[in-house]
Structure 1
Amino acid sequence: MDDSADRDDSTRTSTSTSTSTSTVPDVAELLAIAVEVTTAAARLAAARRAEGVEVADTKSSLVDVVTHTDREVEDHLRGRLAELRPGDGFLGEEGDPDDSTTGLTWVVDPIDGTVNFLYGIPQWAVSVALVEGGPDPLTWTALAACVVNPLSGEVFTASRGGGAWLGEARLVPSAPASVAESLFATGFSYEADRRVEQAAVLGRLIGQVRDLRRLGAASLDLCAVAAGRLDAYAERGLKPWDHAAGVLIAEEAGAVVRGEVGQAPSGRLVVASAPSVAGAVDVLLEDAQF
């Protein structure tokens, strides 16, 4: 990562809340809005975590939990974005989607890594992306993204064509010499039977890579590939809000990001790799029947 790199003025983030008089503002303005709302939501989530956490509900299984903070943070984001960008769509994890009249949709995960949040593990984030042509990941084009881990204080951002950043430092992926020297990350399903199948697949992978990590927040895993902290990441079964922001950040950093063969990243598959091993990672995943 090049700590000396400075942003171009056209993509530097700010905390301005002004909106353009045109239907579609420039990407720098979209990014500024994404950063403003995400950082504010992250502060709210961190404050609520410090007060204590209570499970509000479960979703797909007993371990797929929702906290009151998930809902409060999403409601906060929905309301703030409606003020700043009236007419834009909204797709969040906890509530019903809002249709777009502008062709743009905000894709929001109020707390990515809710189980980590619940247990006090400092590996969770607020993730916000703005996409054009949403809400289908197979057809949308992500324009701006922000992922904030409030406990580490890290703010990851990206805009289409503007690069990816951690604060003011431009992100650059790693360059491992081989898959055998690559640190690989993935995630697991909330469904117990599916986790057993995934563990069997990883058993075929673990001897082929440097090591495996399961950190529990897809957005941060993708940002870690962008930052060179991980060499490769792959997961199936993600929801659009899990990967929308992280995928753009990884892509703009220069990582090789894909879905299933010939498709964009989606719930079917998300793979992000350092360019030096991207082809070998694809072979590895195929051989392991990932």
Structure 2
Amino acid sequence: MGLARDAAATARRLRAEAIFDVETKSTATDVVTAADKAVERQVIEALRELRPGDGVLGEEYGDAAGEGSVRWILDPIDGTVNYLYGLPQYAVSLAAEAGGEIVAGIVINAATGDEWTATRGGGAYRGDRRLKVTGPAELSQALVGTGFGYDARRRAHQGRVLAGLITRVRDIRRFGAAALDLCAVAEGTLDAYYEKGLNPWDHAAGGLIAREAGAVVAGLQGARPGLDMVVAAPPAIFNDLHDLLVGLDAAGGA
């Protein structure tokens, strides 16, 4: 989608020119830059021109209702801390929701230009290459991605969960951008991923991409993916990972 590519180009350009107007959100470690806001404004303005009746839910400016049947869910820069430090793991994530379901999504690593897309029922792609989840038959051989919240109490609980998990899997990775982690599951550079505290803009597009590649994407104990938990894994190991996370009370804590 051209407007997502334009947004990624803007994010990359602003990073090259310099980070500016750093503010704080929920805590001092949760940074947001003027670039987040600029990229979100750019996408919103483009959507209003192309599809004036649609709603938009964005990380920075909230939920703007529309008269149309489609709502766009936008994370202008997923991985803001990576962006601030110049680590090449930050993305523009944009999804279309209709009838309460995500029907299309695109994630672009703004640092590298790598692009993942999916449509509901139409498969998932990295560029022109169709994706299909791969992975081990046993959880003990799985490379698992995760992330951590900004609140210190939540991090403490997540650390305890991680301590209980790390001896049961091959290894753990933490890259700092949920949308890219979900795309990594879709293409097999991660075998599985879980995280508590994700907002819709964090997982809407990436979750569809992982699901269309064949992963199971869900919450715990029959819940939909959301703030309490997002788990993405191939069917062969999803249940074992799910049950282990339940046993470790991964959805609990602050």
Equivalent position SS for 2:62: coil
CA distance in 1, matches of 2:62, 2:141: 43
Matched, 1:114 2:80: yes
In structure 1, distance between residues paired with 2:196 and 2:149 = 8
Match of 1:86 in 2: 52
Instruction: Report the secondary structure of 1:244's partner residue.
Output: helix
Match of 1:38 in 2: 4
Name which of 89, 96, 99 aligns with 2:65.
Answer: 99
Does the alignment pair 1:247 with 2:207?
Answer: yes
User: Do 2:135 and 2:142's aligned partners in 1 also have CA atoms closer than 8 Å?
Assistant: no
Gap runs ≥5 in structure 2: none
Q: Distance in 2 between matches of 1:286 and 1:264?
A: 15
Residue pair 1:123, 1:215 contacting (<8 A) in 2 also: yes
2:239 maps to what in 1? 279
Distance across 2 between alignment mates of 1:283 and 1:271 = 11
Q: How does 1:228-267 map to 2 (within 5 A)?
A: 228-267=188-227
Match of 2:177 in 1: 217
Aligned residues of 2:97 and 2:103 also touching (Cα < 8 A): yes
Matched with 2:38 is: 72
Q: Which amino acid aligns with 2:34?
A: H
Tell me if structure 1 keeps the 8 A contact 2:143–2:190: yes
Matched, 1:166 2:126: yes
Q: CA deviation at 1:230?
A: 0.7
The equivalent of 1:28 in structure 2 is none
Secondary structure of the corresponding residue to residue 263 of structure 1: coil
What stretches of structure 1 move > 4 A for 4+ residues in a row?
none
% same residue:
50
Task: Tell me, in whole angstroms, the C-alpha distance in 2 between the residues paired with 1:39 and 1:168.
Answer: 15
Give the TM-score normalised by structure 2.
0.96
* Distance in 2 separating the partners of 1:260 and 1:89: 29
Amino acid of the structure 2 residue aligned with 1:147:
V
CA deviations on 1:63-107 (whole Å, 9 max, x unpaired) are 111101000000000000101111100000111321021121000
- 8 Å contact kept, 1:57–1:66: yes
The answer on whether the counterparts of 2:185 and 2:192 sit within 8 Å (CA) in structure 1 is yes
Cα distance, 1:142 vs. partner? Answer: 0.5
Instruction: State the Cα RMSD in Å.
Output: 1.0
Partner of 1:5: none
CA contact (8 A) 1:55 1:65 kept: no
Q: Which runs of 5+ in 1 are unaligned?
A: 1-34, 134-139
Letter matched to residue 224 of structure 1: A
Matched residues, number: 250
Q: Give the Cα–Cα distance (whole angstroms) in 1 for the partners of residues 23 and 61 of structure 2.
A: 13
Residues 175 and 275 in structure 1, CA contact (< 8 A), matched pair in contact too: no
Measured in 2, the distance between the counterparts of 1:201 and 1:279 equals 17
Decide whether the 8 Å contact of 2:134 with 2:191 is kept in 1.
yes
Between 53-62 and 41-50, report the one with greater CA deviation: 53-62
2: CA distance between counterparts of 1:284 and 1:268?
15
